Structure 1
Amino acid sequence: MIRNALFVRLEARPGKEQAVADFLAAGLDMAGQEATTPIWFALRLSPTTFGIFDAFASEEDRQAHLHGSIAAALAAHADEMLASPPSIEPIDVLGMKNQLA
């Protein structure tokens, strides 16, 4: 059961919006390789604001993700792409529905 999640808010530097979008597209491939990250969304909240929502079965899985390849890649490119450090918010999932139409 999914109980743990993260919401990460990313604010692109002026002119770096496409770089952030491209990074998130590549992040999908990295997330696909993480067996303990069953739910991962890349979001565009406004022209310059992006987000990542991902969810995990356990706190251990969430911590593994925070120390995994996506986090490392984001840290390596944050200064060049982002106007401010990423805002990383741990979230407790109270309920969910996951059904494709």
Structure 2
Amino acid sequence: MPTGDTHSEPNGAPTVGLMVQLTARPGREDDLVSFFRDAIPDAVAEPDTLTWMVVRSGPNTFYILDTFTDDDGRQTHIHGVIAERLREQGPNFLDDVSIVPTEVVAFMPSTV
């Protein structure tokens, strides 16, 4: 559980995140995939969003995994363009959404 200590690490490592489980409506999975692929530039444009990825664990189950520099960055993302579009368009292709705020306890930076 998040401890509330949401300061930014000096080395730029993320301190907080979001784990969002989404269940696509049957037959609308490809629409959800397209929505997220189209959202990549919006995620890149958020300076405090350090990582943003969408993974699939089953035919219609997806997870968004985000990390942020601090809670302010997380709140900016929650109220940002991607979330707004998902609130508007999501009812067309989603059955369920569950959002869990997280605390980053270990992080391996990319070597790329």
Query: One fold, TM greater than 0.5?
Result: yes
Matching residue's letter, 1:29 = P
Higher-Rg member (1/2) = 2
TM-score for both structures, normalised by structure 2: 0.84
Structure 1 unaligned residues grouped into runs of 5+: none
1:96 aligned residue (71, 84, 107):
107
Runs of 4+ off more than 4 Å: none
Matched residue count:
100
Tell me the SS of whatever aligns to 1:20: helix
CA distance in 2 between counterparts of 1:72 and 1:27 reads 11
CA distance in 1 between counterparts of 2:76 and 2:110 reads 26
Query: Does residue 43 of the first structure (1) align with residue 43 of the second (2)?
Result: no
- Displacement of 1:38 in angstroms is 1.5
Matching residue's letter, 1:95 = A
Identity among equivalent positions (%) equals 33
CA distance in 1 between counterparts of 2:109 and 2:59 reads 27
Tell me the SS of whatever aligns to 2:102: strand
Structure 2 unaligned residues grouped into runs of 5+: 1-8
1:22 corresponds in structure 2 to 34
Q: CA RMSD in A?
A: 1.1
1:62 corresponds in structure 2 to 74
Matching residue's letter, 1:31 = A
Tell me the SS of whatever aligns to 1:63: helix
Tell me the SS of whatever aligns to 2:49: coil
